[in-house]
Chain A
Amino acid sequence: MATAWYIIPYVRQTPPAIAQVYTRSLALLSSGVAYTNAQALDIRGNRAIVKVQASNASLTTLNGLYKRLPVGMLDNPLASLTTPQKNALVSELQDQGYTAQDINAALPNSIGTYTLRDVLRFMARGRRLPVYNAGTDSLDEGDVSDNSAMLDTVDGAIVDSS
């Protein structure tokens, strides 16, 4: 089975599970796409970095549903990315809530000078815990809760056997 990294949003689960005011789960769980294993790591912006192990056909389907990261291994450099791919990655960081200044401070110069690990660690480091907003019945961003230490755990839990 092949593996790939995706950015996958959370979706609301209704009614919420017991003892919860709001329940969210990965959109992947309700996508209907078959996969062998999936490991998720919370990041900012009500989404998660997800390493998915599935058949090539399923990964092709997921490519159409979610943002697939352009390289497959954490230590892969991003130097070979095309300019549109690099722009898409920066755009994803901005979608998560990081400003251009945040990105430039953490990953100065071109994003192409870093590895996938560098970028994912940056995403996870700035994770914000969700906070329920009763007024809008939605989630706000709470305090920063660094989640980067779990990146290697997530990576190690799934081995590419293709």
Chain B
Amino acid sequence: MAGPITPIIYNFNGVDANPDPNFTALLNAIQRVSNQGAGTNAATNIAYLTGVTHGANCEEYITIGTKPGTGNSVALIARAITTSLLALSGYEWVFTDAAGTDTMQMFRLDNAVGTQLGSTVNQEWAAGDGLFIKPTGTTLEGYWNNAGTWTLKLTTTDATYASGGNVVLAVLGTTGRVDDLGGGTAVNLAGTSPITFGQSGALSDTDPLAGSSSITFGQSGALSDVLGLAGSSSIAFSQSGALSDTVNLVGASSILFGQTGDLTQVNPLAGASNITFGQSANLTDTLGLAGNSAVVFGQSGDLTDTKPLAGTSAIVFGGTADLTAGGGYFGNSTITFGQSSALSDVSNLAGSSPILFGQTANLSLAHALAGLSTIVFGGQGTLYAPTIDIPETDWYRTSSLPIEQNRNLIAINLNDTSLVVNQRDSTLPIEQNNPRNGVNSH
């Protein structure tokens, strides 16, 4: 079971302080002692983190370094209303150090009156275990951490408190020691939630977007995911859209931009995603397009990849397009340009890729043209390759289908109007070296 995704917000480190200045006391106080938290009174100590509020869907968790002693408890209260002790309301996940087996209980607090939700969980605790409450909508989850593994111990429902609130820590007695209080608003799109924006929408996800979510923007939309888009999500922008993923886009997501779309990917785009741009679009991948993705531009499109373009992706440009691969193009991708296009590869075109230019096209290679690719120009096109370095490689321009299927490189000009230039042989008449209806090695 996955643990919390939100960070530790207070580690209790610092000089000893009684009371701990980071808390506002509701009853007695929480103190900081030896870089841990503790109660200051043998009875109940209740305080909330000053100035910290979390949204309705949130996480609160804490490590209990020293158990509080028989009969004593440690509790976290989420969605807390903290205007006064007797107004204390929200959802409380309680660990009690029992004489026999320890227990955990979930309560709803209504003005400090507790109503138990669900059954009591019997679970023996060890020093260093953790407590974690996670309210999501009307679902309340209570977790226990042992040796780094979070286990869901209780799930229940309640709809009384639907808003976010403070983070309350309660410690009974002075024996217990707590540490690493964490939490925050949990925007974890790791499930299978459908998210629909009727018109324009903006979704900002600061945690992993790793599930199989269906996210739909009815019109323009902006999705910013700063920690990872690694799942099998279906993301559709019915009109213009912008998706910015600063960490990873490595899953098998289906991403559809209905019209214009910009996808900026600053880390590996290495998964098996289907990415479709309805009209003009820009896809910028600065670290590598190396997976098995299908990338489709409905009309004009620009794909810029400054690192290796080395996978088996299918890349289709419906209209004009520019594909720039700055770090090497040596995979087995199928690349199709519907109309005029330019493919610029400044390192290598060394794989077995079929490359199809629907109309005019220019393919410019700064380095070796050394693979087993089939390159087809539907209209007028220029293939520029400074070196063709595979031994015994033959290359042709012809108006028919490839005539040497077993050769390493075949360039075909269906309309017989393209220029095929090998810089090394540029001093020789092209027709002399490349007769249209024959094979000519050199």
Q: Which residues of A line the B interface, CB within 8 A?
A: 10, 13, 16-26, 29, 38-40, 42, 129-132, 139, 142, 145, 147, 149-150, 153-154, 157
Whether the Cβ atoms of B112 and A130 lie closer than 8 Å is: no
Whether the Cβ atoms of A17 and B94 lie closer than 8 Å is: yes
Complex Cα distance A39/B111, Å? 23
Q: What are the residues of chain B within 8 A of A16 when measuring CB–CB?
A: 114
Stretch in B140-148, B154-162, B409-417 touching the partner: B154-162
Stretch in B52-60, B115-123, B242-250, B336-344 touching the partner: B115-123
* B335: interface (CB < 8 Å): no
10 nearest interchain CB pairs? Answer: A25-B116, A20-B114, A19-B170, A18-B73, A23-B114, A129-B110, A21-B112, A130-B113, A22-B113, A18-B172
Q: Kindly identify which residue among A17, A153, A157 contacts B92, using a CB–CB cutoff of 8 Å.
A: A17
Q: What are the residues of chain B within 8 A of A42 when measuring CB–CB?
A: 115, 160
Q: Mark B164-181, 1 if CB is under 8 A from A, else 0.
A: 000010111000000000
Given contacts A20-B92, A129-B110, A132-B113, list 18 more A-B pairs with CB under 8 A: A13-B116, A17-B94, A17-B105, A17-B107, A17-B116, A18-B44, A19-B170, A20-B114, A23-B113, A23-B114, A24-B116, A29-B116, A129-B113, A130-B111, A131-B113, A150-B158, A154-B157, A157-B157
- Smallest beta-carbon distance A153→chain B, Å: 5
**Chain B residue at minimal CB-CB distance from A20:** B114
Complex Cα distance A99/B73, Å? 42
**Chain B residue at minimal CB-CB distance from A40:** B117
User: Would A145 and B160 be within 8 Å (CB), given that A21-B86, A23-B107 are in contact?
Assistant: yes
Complex Cα distance A154/B354, Å? 58
**Chain B residue at minimal CB-CB distance from A147:** B159
* B316: interface (CB < 8 Å): no
- Smallest beta-carbon distance A33→chain B, Å: 13
Q: What are the residues of chain B within 8 A of A23 when measuring CB–CB?
A: 107, 113-116
Whether the Cβ atoms of A19 and B116 lie closer than 8 Å is: no
* B269: interface (CB < 8 Å): no
Q: Kindly identify which residue among A26, A150, A153 contacts B116, using a CB–CB cutoff of 8 Å.
A: A26
**Chain A residue at minimal CB-CB distance from B173:** A18
Complex Cα distance A40/B172, Å? 29
Complex Cα distance A50/B170, Å? 30
Q: What are the residues of chain A within 8 A of B270 when measuring CB–CB?
A: none
Q: Kindly identify which residue among A19, A142, A150 contacts B110, using a CB–CB cutoff of 8 Å.
A: A142
Chain B, range 50-84, C-beta contacts under 8 Å to A:
73-75, 77
Whether the Cβ atoms of A24 and B113 lie closer than 8 Å is: yes
Whether the Cβ atoms of B109 and A19 lie closer than 8 Å is: yes
* B196: interface (CB < 8 Å): no
Whether the Cβ atoms of B114 and A22 lie closer than 8 Å is: yes
* B193: interface (CB < 8 Å): no
Q: Kindly identify which residue among A38, A40, A129, A147 contacts B111, using a CB–CB cutoff of 8 Å.
A: A129
- Smallest beta-carbon distance B253→chain A, Å: 31
- Smallest beta-carbon distance B27→chain A, Å: 8
Q: What are the residues of chain B within 8 A of A131 when measuring CB–CB?
A: 110-111, 113
* B88: interface (CB < 8 Å): yes
Q: Which of A25, A145, A150 is packed against the most chain B CB atoms within 10 Å?
A: A25
Q: What are the residues of chain A within 8 A of B105 when measuring CB–CB?
A: 17
**Chain B residue at minimal CB-CB distance from A26:** B116
Can you give 12 A-B contacts (C-beta < 8 A)?
Answer: A17-B96, A18-B73, A19-B46, A19-B114, A20-B107, A21-B112, A22-B112, A129-B111, A129-B160, A145-B160, A147-B160, A149-B159
Q: What are the residues of chain A within 8 A of B159 when measuring CB–CB?
A: 147, 149-150, 153
Whether the Cβ atoms of A24 and B172 lie closer than 8 Å is: no
Complex Cα distance A14/B138, Å? 28
